[in-house]
Structure 1
Amino acid sequence: MQLADHPARRRLSAALENLSATFRGMTAHPDEHNCDCHWGSSEELALLKTPDVELEPDLLRRSWEAVDWTDHAAVLRRILPQFAAELVAGRVNPLYDALEEAGYSFARGRWQQWPEEHAGPVREFLHAWWAQSLTDPDAVVPAHRVFVLCAEASGTVGPWLAAWENHTGPLSDHRLAEAAAEWEYELLGDRLPWRVGWYEHDEEKLRTDLAAWLLDHAATRLRESNAPEDLQHRIRLLGLTDEDRWTDPHWPGHRY
């Protein structure tokens, strides 16, 4: 299959085009303001109140990172087409928790409460990007990083894990093993493998839901796909607690 014909790539391209069409002409609120010293100049702020002007990368970053907009939702709608394209292209650094912060920006905008004609394209973009990260061999951003953004943007791991169950095959299994290897250290310490930045999110539920899914579903896939044996044991240990866990012969010796 040619790369251009990859179904997940086509779906993601359509989702990005729909975002651009849906949010064309959007602007920040006319009375929006921010600190000249800490955020940027009045000329830069004016660009957020001007529709469809591409922002230079640093201004785009400051716009989605800022936590003190009066109307964050309006700012998010203004920048969303460009922001989403930058995310998919990997130009929002997937290291240093930048994608977690990007997920918080979606959450602060309360996009799930927008009218369906606005919320629907955002939902489809997130689902399309998630599917592409699992099934496209040339996906730019690691799947486990996309997962964290989607979880933080939506406040739940449920739909993203359900989609992972439906995407089977060697590549999706390989990316499951990569994610499990990234997450096992924190999960074995009874901690979520990323920082929850939005106060409405239930961190403990996110952790327990993720750990339960790894035990109930992922463990079988890891075994059947011949994932490293030590990784399989570390996921198995999530089903043990307290002394039973750290005295198990396969305890990896983690220190917290």
Structure 2
Amino acid sequence: MASSALTAVLHRIDAVFGGMTAPAGGCLHCYDAEELALLAVPRAPLGDDLVRQLFHEVPGHFDDHPAVVRRLLPEFFAFLASGRFDGIGYQSTALSRTAWREWPREQAEAIEDFLDTWWLETLADPEPLYGVSAVWELCVESHGSLAPVLDVWAAAPRGGTEDRHLGAWVAYRIDELLQDDPFVLPWDMDGEALLPGLQAWLVEHAVDRLAGHADPLLAPKVALLALAPEERWVAYSELIASAG
């Protein structure tokens, strides 16, 4: 069951986007005319399978892709928040392919509010419906930026569930981060451009928060991200050697 905060942002999404329609035209190789016709009917239920497929579709499949996205948002976000989306993270979402931040302010703020609330509640949940990595990736991709997602994590209380999730995420990704692997970021984003910012954020925020991690080398490894690659590997070898 969605929390009161998540329910409130879902109501806001419905108030802003509910009742919107989109042109029924689209790719008839991938969709039946009857399915596309539903887009032009306000609040006609699309069902989990169709709304998921439509929300991951590339823009060229529709006559008006932004209108389709706006039409889908209430049902897709409710579907996402329910925990029924068992394929989360397997491909890009429509928000990453739409300049939604340039939409009217009320619309952009409602989307941002949902993403931030959903991410914050994921971090605070000891056993979130989806893995933290999957939600992190979807939120980063949807925002098209690291900053909004990392800002929520940085502001989260210290010493609790949020830090445990941070430790698990970093432990899973630390080797890639140390190797400057851009595929730590969602595949359709400019990982090479964004990776230095992620590494700098981890050095600033994660080292202290991981001080009590079960792996005593994890925080020191994160600190190595502040070094240039040639210096990093010398320091890494020394760190491993000192640990015996």
Same fold (TM over 0.5): yes
Residue type of the partner of 1:88?
A
1:23 equivalent to 2:23? Answer: no
Do 1:23 and 1:78's aligned partners in 2 also have CA atoms closer than 8 Å?
Answer: yes
Do 2:21 and 2:39's aligned partners in 1 also have CA atoms closer than 8 Å?
Answer: yes
What is the RMSD of the two structures over their aligned residues, measured on CA atoms?
2.3
1:236 equivalent to 2:223? Answer: yes
Do 1:152 and 1:196's aligned partners in 2 also have CA atoms closer than 8 Å?
Answer: no
Q: Counterparts in 2 of 1:1-256, with a 5 A limit?
A: 9-30=3-24, 32-34=25-27, 36-37=28-29, 39-67=30-58, 68=60, 69-93=62-86, 97-98=89-90, 101-102=92-93, 105-169=94-158, 170-192=160-182, 193-197=184-188, 201-223=189-211, 225-247=212-234, 248-249=236-237, 250=239
Do 2:119 and 2:149's aligned partners in 1 also have CA atoms closer than 8 Å?
Answer: yes
Q: Which runs of 5+ in 1 are unaligned?
A: none
Residue type of the partner of 1:120?
E
CA distance in 2, matches of 1:251, 1:58: 48
Note the C-alpha offset of 1:29. Answer: 2.3
CA distance in 2, matches of 1:155, 1:217: 21
Note the C-alpha offset of 1:227. Answer: 4.2
Residue type of the partner of 1:72?
H
Q: Deviations over 1:93-130 (max 9, x none)?
A: 356x32x523xx11212111110121111111011111
Judging changes above 3 Å, is the alpha-carbon distance between structure 1 residues 43 and 162 closer, same or farther for their aligned structure 2 residues? same
Do 2:17 and 2:70's aligned partners in 1 also have CA atoms closer than 8 Å?
Answer: yes
Do 2:185 and 2:195's aligned partners in 1 also have CA atoms closer than 8 Å?
Answer: no
The percentage of aligned residue pairs carrying the same residue is 35
Q: Deviations over 1:4-51 (max 9, x none)?
A: 8xxxx3221100111112111111125x321x22x2111111112211
Residue type of the partner of 2:86?
N
Judging changes above 3 Å, is the alpha-carbon distance between structure 1 residues 66 and 144 closer, same or farther for their aligned structure 2 residues? same
CA distance in 2, matches of 1:207, 1:91: 31
Do 1:237 and 1:251's aligned partners in 2 also have CA atoms closer than 8 Å?
Answer: no
Tell me the matched-pair count: 235
CA distance in 1, matches of 2:226, 2:107: 41
CA distance in 1, matches of 2:113, 2:186: 25
TM-score using structure 2 length: 0.87
Residue type of the partner of 1:66?
E
CA distance in 1, matches of 2:185, 2:139: 12
Judging changes above 3 Å, is the alpha-carbon distance between structure 1 residues 251 and 148 closer, same or farther for their aligned structure 2 residues? farther
TM-score using structure 1 length: 0.83
Residue type of the partner of 1:208?
P
Note the C-alpha offset of 1:84. Answer: 0.8
Residue type of the partner of 1:207?
L
Judging changes above 3 Å, is the alpha-carbon distance between structure 1 residues 126 and 143 closer, same or farther for their aligned structure 2 residues? same
Q: Which runs of 5+ in 2 are unaligned?
A: none
**After TM superposition, which residue ranges in structure 1, 4 or more long, deviate above 6 angstroms?**
none
